[in-house]
Amino acid sequence: MAGKGKKMERIMGVLPGLLLSAAVMLAGVYAAEMIAFLLSAADILPEGSASPISGIFTAILIGILVRNLIGLPVFLDAGIDFALKYALRAGIILLGLRLSLTEALKLGAWGVPLIIVCISTGLFVTLYFTRKLNQSSRLGTLIAVGTGICGVTAIMATAPVIKARENEISYAVANITIFGLIGMLFYPYLANFFFADNPVKAGLFLGTAIHDTAQVAGAALIYAQVFNADEAIDVATITKLTRNVFIIAVIPFVSYLFFRNARKNGDGKAGQLPKWYKLFPLFILGFLLLSLIRSIGDATVSSSGEAFGLFSPAAWKGFYGFWSSFGSTYMLGIAMAAVGLSTNLKAFKGMGITPFYIGLIAAVAVGSISLLLISLFGDLVAV
């Protein structure tokens, strides 16, 4: 009985902070939907577009406001910490159902190398300028993966591996959101300027140059409706999802670079290079497993008409759609609300504006290399 009592006590200790994180998450989701509605009403976004500012980002902002304007009692800390650790991992694992490895095959032999070069540009340009401008290597690593791979999701997946602080996570998410939003509104017209009669090239550009998945979808919708080129939506979506798959390899790689450089700089505990398997955390293995399940399910739908011989195409789509959306919207949203609720604005003092300059340089570099490569090799890609 004593064991049950202690278990109940732990649950009750966690519950208040967890419920607060969930409430902030729901407020963030609602705020993001209202932003999408207002932008559509103002004809800035096509009708039916997803919000270019994710519920995750708005949840962080609301959490920061609650923490710094209202303040939080100590008894909420346990639940907030629980959301930071476990809701985050659950959300990233469920995101694996969003990514089908077979989608990458649609880009053919030339599409994937183009994506790899764009990812590499984002990573190495960001890390180079972080080092040259003497900025926090943790913050630079977060901005690098957010720029190179898939925005907020990549930042959140990398943060626990390199033990990033809440203010660094918030700063990186804000950085990626701002430049991704600018790209979403500006890049459709830039794509038309360079690739006016080629929706495949335009879709490749939007999918490789814009940070977050929702922002890519929004940019593709703008391009399709303004320039009457629906094919660009499919190409941009496939390109972005293929780019997202590289989270599996990039997170261990950039984590290795972080710890190796920290060790060279004599950064105490942070400089102790972990064992290789600690650079490939368990939640990424879960992400990979669910991605493989999604890929096999899609393959069996294509070959036999039923996923695993059990699910009709509609049932299979509903299954992975529900759980991947639950992970990306609710689990990651709760975790990000907890990030906001844990962030003291005083911690931003001393971080300055320089990391935003690094984010700008990285965004411009990725966009430029994407334009160059697609201009040279885009005709070789058939989707």
Instruction: Give residue-wise pLDDT tens across range 98-144.
Output: 877 777 667 766 788 888 999 999 999 999 999 898 888 889 999 99
SS3 50: coil
Q: How confident is the model at residue 361 (pLDDT cuts 50, 70, 90)?
A: very high
pLDDT at position 59: 86
The rounded distance, in Å, linking the Cα atoms of 221 and 51 is 12
Q: Considering only 103-117, 123-137, 194-208, 210-224, which range has the smallest mean pLDDT?
A: 103-117
Q: Which residues contact 276 (CB under 8 A, 6 or more apart)?
A: 252, 256
Q: How confident is the model at residue 366 (pLDDT cuts 50, 70, 90)?
A: very high
pLDDT at position 5: 59
Q: Check whether 2 has a pLDDT greater than 60.
A: no
Q: How confident is the model at residue 50 (pLDDT cuts 50, 70, 90)?
A: low
Most distant CA pair in the chain, distance: 73
Q: What percent of the chain has pLDDT over 90?
A: 20
pLDDT at position 330: 86
Q: Check whether 3 has a pLDDT greater than 80.
A: no
pLDDT at position 208: 92
The rounded distance, in Å, linking the Cα atoms of 89 and 93 is 6
pLDDT at position 46: 74
By the 8 A CB rule, do 165 and 148 touch? no
Burial class (CB in 10 A: 0-12, 13-18, 19+), 165: middle
Please name which of 184, 131, 132, 126 lies closest in space to residue 155, comparing C-alpha atoms. Answer: 126
Burial class (CB in 10 A: 0-12, 13-18, 19+), 346: exposed
Span 51-66, average pLDDT: 81
Q: Check whether 53 has a pLDDT greater than 80.
A: no
Span 170-186, average pLDDT: 85
CA angle 104, 107, 110 (to 5 degrees): 115
Taken in order 270, 248, 212, 89, the sign of the CA dihedral is negative
The rounded distance, in Å, linking the Cα atoms of 381 and 327 is 32
| Average pLDDT, rounded, for the chain | 83
Q: How confident is the model at residue 153 (pLDDT cuts 50, 70, 90)?
A: confident
Q: Which residues contact 8 (CB under 8 A, 6 or more apart)?
A: none
Residues 272-283 have pLDDT tens digits of 556 656 666 677
Q: Check whether 364 has a pLDDT greater than 90.
A: yes
The first and second tokens of residue 125, run together, are 């340009």
The rounded distance, in Å, linking the Cα atoms of 319 and 324 is 9
DSSP H helices, 133-279, are 137-145, 152-162, 166-194, 199-209, 213-227, 231-245, 247-264
Q: Check whether 304 has a pLDDT greater than 80.
A: yes
Q: How confident is the model at residue 353 (pLDDT cuts 50, 70, 90)?
A: confident
pLDDT at position 33: 84
The first and second tokens of residue 154, run together, are 């990549």
For 318, other C-beta atoms within 10 Å of its C-beta total 12
Number of H helices, E strands in the chain: 17, 0
Please name which of 324, 317, 342, 336 lies closest in space to residue 213, comparing C-alpha atoms. Answer: 324
For 40, other C-beta atoms within 10 Å of its C-beta total 15
Please name which of 381, 358, 373 lies closest in space to residue 142, comparing C-alpha atoms. Answer: 358
By the 8 A CB rule, do 64 and 4 touch? no
Span 15-38, average pLDDT: 89
In angstroms, how far is CA 29 from the centroid of its own chain?
A: 16
For 64, other C-beta atoms within 10 Å of its C-beta total 24
Q: Considering only 126-135, 182-191, 251-260, which range has the smallest mean pLDDT?
A: 251-260
The rounded distance, in Å, linking the Cα atoms of 81 and 140 is 24
The first and second tokens of residue 295, run together, are 């890929």
The first and second tokens of residue 7, run together, are 């278990």
Q: Check whether 270 has a pLDDT greater than 60.
A: no
